[in-house]
Amino acid sequence: MKKISVTAALILVLLLTAVCVNEIRDRTGAAADDSVQVLGAVTVYRGEKSQDGDLLGTAQAESLIVRDKPMALEAALFLGRNKEVAQEMLMRQDMAGRLIIPSAGIDVALFIDGQGEDVAQMRQEICDREDSASFFTDGLGMLIADHNNQAFSSLGRVQTGDKAVVLRGHSIVTLQCELIADGNNYGKGILDADGYYFTSYEDYICYTCKENWNNVLVVGFRVLDEDYVI
């Protein structure tokens, strides 16, 4: 009876030893995997599956949401001014933000609506006001219009490569000038010499009249980044 008890105890010890060895091997193998990712308090190893699919894929997607990206330098420089614009937007009806082009000394409020019997009159009324540019879309990109004797009097000083920002209160859009050209305003959009919309080339198109309202100076900007600050 004593021998049986000793044998049973020995078998139990061997089983426990085997379990411990396997546990150590599993943990060592996982630690050696370069693809270990930690999300919050959950460690995820490549190859693990959840009932809903690949747990690693879920962790990667969630990490994209919670991980902050570096803020653009231009956005960081205008954080204080963006807070002021957010307050200004509360006081000025239909204001959608503010365009700033430091190299040309341009700093103008953007408005999406105004008074008038039709769209053309509404945009004209917006441009006629002081510190007020018309901000709208043609379905392809964003356009900003103002008079050449107001905020856009220095638009011709902008050069390719110059940076600009659109302060939206909730975000800061960083732009870079990629295009400068003469355009044709036919009333429903701004076209190049070949009849193509400038908004098919760049994300933001700023324009102002030259000799008359049909002939316009066009400065196109590409969006580099948008930083949400709320």
How does pLDDT run across 196-228, given as a tens digit for each residue?
Answer: 999 999 999 999 999 888 999 999 999 999 999
Q: Which residue has the tokens 């231009």?
A: 74
CATH pick for 73-228 out of 3.55.40.20, 2.40.260.10, 2.40.160.40, 3.40.50.300: 2.40.260.10
Query: Is there a contact between 97 and 166 (Cβ–Cβ < 8 Å)?
Result: yes
Query: Lowest-confidence range among 14-23, 176-185, 204-213?
Result: 14-23
- Using the CB atoms, write b or e for 132-148: b if 16+ within 10 Å: bbbbbeeeebbbbbbbb
Q: How confident is the model at residue 153 (pLDDT cuts 50, 70, 90)?
A: very high
88-99 pLDDT per residue, tens: 999 999 999 999
Cβ neighbours of residue 200 closer than 8 Å, sequence gap 6 or more: 140, 141
Distance of CA 174 to the CA centre of its chain: 8
Cβ neighbours of residue 143 closer than 8 Å, sequence gap 6 or more: 134, 135, 136, 137, 190, 199, 204, 205, 206, 207
Is the pLDDT at 20 greater than 80? The verdict is no
Tokens at 145, concatenated: 């219009």
Q: Identify the pLDDT of residue 211.
A: 85
Sketch the domain layout of the chain as residue ranges. Answer: 32-67, 73-228
Cβ neighbours of residue 227 closer than 8 Å, sequence gap 6 or more: 71, 72, 75, 171, 172, 174
Report field, pTM of the whole predicted structure over 0.85: no
> What amino acid occupies position 76?
A
Tell me which DSSP letter residue 83 carries.
Answer: H
Query: Is there a contact between 189 and 33 (Cβ–Cβ < 8 Å)?
Result: no
